């Protein structure tokens, strides 16, 4: 008997969205309404819209379960590369808090050019340095940004 | 005179940048405008708006370049242009296709500017009489409309719209001053910054998605003569005027914008043009005429509700509202009476931008094509870097960069699973407006919903808004199946 694998990514994402919607709905009930009446309360619009979110998330989840597809049990290597790059981007954002702006940005660009094999190493170093130098100078002078 | 020259130069620079941004798949006018809004924080508002108007007009035209030459629309509003623009290019008329796009965008842009100049003061005078419930009804109308036309299912669109509305309410309540959904966190007391969110949702997420798509190198069709025959320009003028009018009207509907305008105009052309130059979908000049005149005319239309009601006509005008907020201004009918010079400057900048993209489009096609040919894996990382700078520039704060990254990932995940993003942006913009107007209405009617319905029934403005909603949805949905973007 052949093993069957279902595309669970979409179902998982819809479950997450449903949880987010339920989180907002629950939180909305705890908003401090003070002495306001029900329909003019600061919690009325968040509650109503969060409820709409929950309903839509449930419908979307049902749709995702109905249309789940059989997929090959092989990894999409390229998509993993993109997801890894997203992780590296977050490292870059974190590095901005610890390192000088120009250094973290140049390192990120250099990594990006090498990771995507856009440029050979020497050109990647020059391009990263050039982009950072020109951009930061331009934005500082023209847009008065203080880095 | 010097101020006029300054505005002209700024608009020229913005238009040039806009054409480039529009021409490169993966970049969008919304992203460019969002970056510029944050970067120009230190400028005076008229200079900032001049550049923004240039980018807006330029980008909508710029999208037609790759739409015609490589069958990939550079901007959402150029999707329909691919239907006839690319077949034209494949048979060796790529230059003519772009020439048509350029001249028709120019003519449509002029119609849009004229509509803006005439329509805005009229609508502003009417809008002064709007009650809070009218704004609330219009906001609902906008959310439902953008949800109807968004990619993916209506349910998914309503999910993202509702999420945007709820997130727009994070922070201090405008009426009671109490914190809402802040969870005791000081960072959330200020609320979600609109420009930061848009940078992430439209900027970073799109770039990441382009990398994820792993587009291969584009085959670009050759470009020869660019100027279309003048006798055909004259012959198509009635069609241009009709489709431009469609563009203005559709553009003025909250949250709809150029993509739907060009689709509706193309549909009109197919139904009314009896003997097209070629069959539609196989390189008919009329197809390019209709879509490109409409999508640039829609710009003028989209700015009308933004200026008069504070309700964005599309995603770009949602960002422009952010620009106004950054400079301490609030779009609405009072803006027209308090700062009429701002309105005149916007009209002038759009007019300049329309002239400039005609000139740049005709003269600089070949250099633009060279830039468009740069591989995306070289172009996109510097774009991410510029997006980071844009987020940082808002308040010189790395916290905004972190927020932008957060929204970028949210947008990326939404794109992966076909949850549309424009409804979320509209929700972020309209959420506070909906909340405030609904609650002020309820307060004035002492929580009595029946009294509110009675007030709507006897108010000409409220009834007109309800009727507009009814007519619009009837026209959109009378054909079998939901209306979809091309």
pLDDT digits (tens, 9 = 90+) for B28-41: 788 888 888 888 87
To the nearest whole percent, how much of chain B has pLDDT over 90? 28
User: Are A95 and A29 spatial neighbours (Cβ–Cβ below 8 Å)?
Assistant: no
Of all residues in chain A, the one with the smallest CA distance to B448 is A39
Statement: residue B387 has pLDDT above 50: yes
Best of B10, B163, B399 to mutate (most A CBs within 10 Å, chain A): B163
Closest chain B C-alpha to A1 CA, distance in angstroms: 31
CB burial readout A75-103, b (16+ within 10 A) else e: eeeeeeebeebbeebeebbebbeeeebee
User: Are B98 and B78 spatial neighbours (Cβ–Cβ below 8 Å)?
Assistant: no
Chain A positions in Cβ-Cβ contact with residue B162 (cut-off 8 Å): 21, 49-50, 52-53, 56
In this predicted model, which residue has the larger pLDDT, A52 or B43? A52
B381 and A118 in contact by Cβ < 8 A? yes
A82 and B211 in contact by Cβ < 8 A? yes
Statement: residue A2 has pLDDT above 50: no
In this predicted model, which residue has the larger pLDDT, A72 or B11? B11
Best of A13, A20, A49 to mutate (most B CBs within 10 Å, chain B): A49
Secondary structure letter of residue B327 according to DSSP = T
User: Is A11 near chain B, with CB under 8 Å?
Assistant: no
Chain A positions in Cβ-Cβ contact with residue B41 (cut-off 8 Å): 143
A88-102, A111-125, B471-485: least confidently modelled range? B471-485
Q: Sorting pLDDT into bands at 50, 70 and 90, what band is B115?
A: very high
Instruction: Say if pTM beats, i.e. exceeds, 0.80.
Output: yes
Q: Work out the average pLDDT over A13-21.
A: 93
Chain A positions in Cβ-Cβ contact with residue B386 (cut-off 8 Å): 135
Exposed/middle/buried for residue B426 (C-beta within 10 Å: 0-12, 13-18, 19+): buried
d(CA B398, CA B307): 31
User: Is B477 near chain A, with CB under 8 Å?
Assistant: no
SS3 call for A6:
strand
d(CA B308, CA B57): 20
How many CA atoms within 13 Å lie on the side-chain side of B120? 30
Instruction: Kindly calculate the radius of gyration of chain B based on its CA atoms and give it in whole angstroms.
Output: 22
Q: Which H or E run includes B171?
A: strand B171-172
B377 and A118 in contact by Cβ < 8 A? yes
pLDDT for A7 equals: 56
SS3 call for B255:
coil
A23-27, A129-133, B314-318, B400-404: least confidently modelled range? B314-318
pLDDT tens, position by position, B295-347? 999 999 999 999 998 888 888 888 888 888 888 888 887 787 788 888 999 99
pLDDT tens, position by position, A69-115? 655 444 465 678 888 898 999 999 999 999 999 999 999 999 999 99
Secondary structure letter of residue B275 according to DSSP = S
B159 and A17 in contact by Cβ < 8 A? yes
Chain B positions in Cβ-Cβ contact with residue A97 (cut-off 8 Å): 398
d(CA A37, CA A34): 9
- What CA–CA distances, in Å, run from B395 to B102, B196, B392? 38, 10, 6
pLDDT for B220 equals: 63
- Closest CB from A42, A89, A109 relative to B382: A109
- What CA–CA distances, in Å, run from A140 to A126, A133, B279? 21, 11, 53
To the nearest whole percent, how much of chain B has pLDDT over 70? 94
d(CA A64, CA A62): 5
CB burial readout B283-314, b (16+ within 10 A) else e: bbbbbbbbbbbbbbbbbbbbbbbbbbbbbbbb
In this predicted model, which residue has the larger pLDDT, B350 or B148? B350
User: What is chain A's mean pLDDT, rounded?
Assistant: 84
User: Is A30 near chain B, with CB under 8 Å?
Assistant: no
SS3 call for B172:
strand
pLDDT for A70 equals: 52
A50 and B162 in contact by Cβ < 8 A? yes
User: What is chain B's mean pLDDT, rounded?
Assistant: 85
User: Is B401 near chain A, with CB under 8 Å?
Assistant: yes
Angle between the N-to-C axes of helices B460-477 and B449-458, in degrees from 0 to 180, rounded to the nearest 10: 80
Of all residues in chain B, the one with the smallest CA distance to A41 is B439
Q: Sorting pLDDT into bands at 50, 70 and 90, what band is B486?
A: very low
d(CA B339, CA B343): 7
Q: Work out the average pLDDT over B37-52.
A: 85
User: Are B19 and B367 spatial neighbours (Cβ–Cβ below 8 Å)?
Assistant: no
Statement: residue B73 has pLDDT above 50: yes
Statement: residue B289 has pLDDT above 90: yes
In this predicted model, which residue has the larger pLDDT, B225 or B106? B106
- Closest CB from A79, A89, A147 relative to B405: A89
pLDDT for A134 equals: 92
Chain A positions in Cβ-Cβ contact with residue B446 (cut-off 8 Å): 37
B205-209, B242-246, B333-337, B473-477: least confidently modelled range? B473-477
Q: Which H or E run includes B179?
A: strand B179-180
User: Are B247 and B298 spatial neighbours (Cβ–Cβ below 8 Å)?
Assistant: yes
Chain B positions in Cβ-Cβ contact with residue A39 (cut-off 8 Å): 439, 442, 447, 449
């Amino acid at each position: 008997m052949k093993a069957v694998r279902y595309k669970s990514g979409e179902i998982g994402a819809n479950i997450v969205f449903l949880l987010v919607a339920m989180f907002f709905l629950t939180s909305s009930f705890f908003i401090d309404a003070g002495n306001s009446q029900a329909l003019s309360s600061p919690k009325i619009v968040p509650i109503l819209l969060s409820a709409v979110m929950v309903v839509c998330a449930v419908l979307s989840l049902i749709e995702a379960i109905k249309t789940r597809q059989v997929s090959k049990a092989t990894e999409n290597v390229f998509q993993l590369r993109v997801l890894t790059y997203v992780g590296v981007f977050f490292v870059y954002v974190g590095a901005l808090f610890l390192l000088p702006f120009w250094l973290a940005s140049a390192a990120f660009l250099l990594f990006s050019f090498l990771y995507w094999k856009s440029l050979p190493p020497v050109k990647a170093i020059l391009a990263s340095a050039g982009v950072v130098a020109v951009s930061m100078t331009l934005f500082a002078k023209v847009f008065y940004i203080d880095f | 005179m010097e101020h006029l020259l300054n505005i002209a130069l700024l608009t020229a620079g913005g238009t040039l940048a806009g054409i480039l941004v529009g021409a490169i798949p993966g970049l969008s006018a919304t992203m460019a405008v969002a970056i510029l809004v944050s970067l120009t924080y230190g400028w005076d508002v008229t200079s900032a708006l001049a550049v923004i108007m240039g980018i807006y007009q330029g980008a909508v035209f710029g999208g037609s370049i790759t739409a015609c030459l490589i069958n990939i629309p550079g901007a959402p509003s150029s999707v329909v242009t691919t239907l006839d623009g690319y077949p034209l290019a494949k048979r060796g008329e790529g230059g003519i296709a772009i020439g048509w796009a350029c001249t028709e965008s120019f003519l449509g842009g002029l119609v849009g500017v004229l509509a803006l100049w005439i329509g805005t003061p009229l609508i502003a005078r009417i809008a002064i009489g709007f009650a809070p419930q009218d704004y609330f009804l219009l906001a609902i109308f906008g959310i439902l409309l953008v949800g109807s036309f968004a990619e993916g299912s209506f349910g998914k669109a309503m999910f993202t719209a509702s999420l945007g509305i709820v997130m727009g309410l994070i922070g201090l309540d405008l009426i009671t001053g109490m914190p809402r959904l802040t969870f005791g966190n000081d960072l959330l007391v200020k609320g979600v910054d609109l420009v930061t969110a848009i940078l992430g949702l439209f900027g970073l997420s799109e770039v990441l998605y382009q990398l994820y798509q792993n587009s291969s190198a584009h085959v670009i069709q050759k470009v020869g003569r660019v100027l279309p025959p003048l006798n055909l320009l004259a012959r198509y003028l009635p069609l241009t005027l009709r489709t431009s009018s469609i563009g203005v009207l559709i553009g003025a509907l909250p949250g709809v914008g150029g993509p739907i305008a060009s689709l509706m105009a193309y549909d009109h052309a197919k139904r009314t043009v009896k003997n097209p130059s070629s069959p539609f979908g196989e390189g008919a000049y009329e197809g390019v005429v209709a879509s490109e005149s409409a999508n640039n005319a829609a710009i003028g239309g989209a700015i009308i509700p933004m200026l008069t009601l504070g309700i964005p006509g599309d995603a770009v005008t949602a960002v422009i509202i952010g620009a106004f907020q950054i400079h301490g201004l609030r779009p609405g009918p009072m803006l027209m009476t308090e700062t009429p010079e701002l309105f005149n400057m916007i009209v002038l900048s759009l007019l300049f931008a329309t002239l400039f993209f005609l000139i740049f489009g005709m003269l600089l096609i070949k250099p633009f094509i060279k830039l468009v040919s740069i591989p995306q894996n070289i172009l996109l990382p510097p774009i991410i870097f510029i997006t980071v700078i844009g987020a940082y520039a808002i308040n010189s704060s790395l916290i905004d960069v972190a927020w932008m990254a957060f929204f970028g990932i949210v947008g990326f995940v939404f794109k992966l699973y076909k949850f549309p993003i424009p409804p979320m942006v509209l929700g972020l913009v309209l959420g506070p407006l909906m909340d405030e107007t609904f609650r002020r209405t309820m307060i004035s009617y002492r929580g009595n919903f029946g009294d509110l319905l009675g007030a709507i029934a006897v108010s000409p403005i409220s009834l007109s808004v309800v009727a507009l909603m009814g007519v619009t949805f009837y026209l959109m949905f009378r054909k079998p199946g939901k209306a979809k973007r091309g």
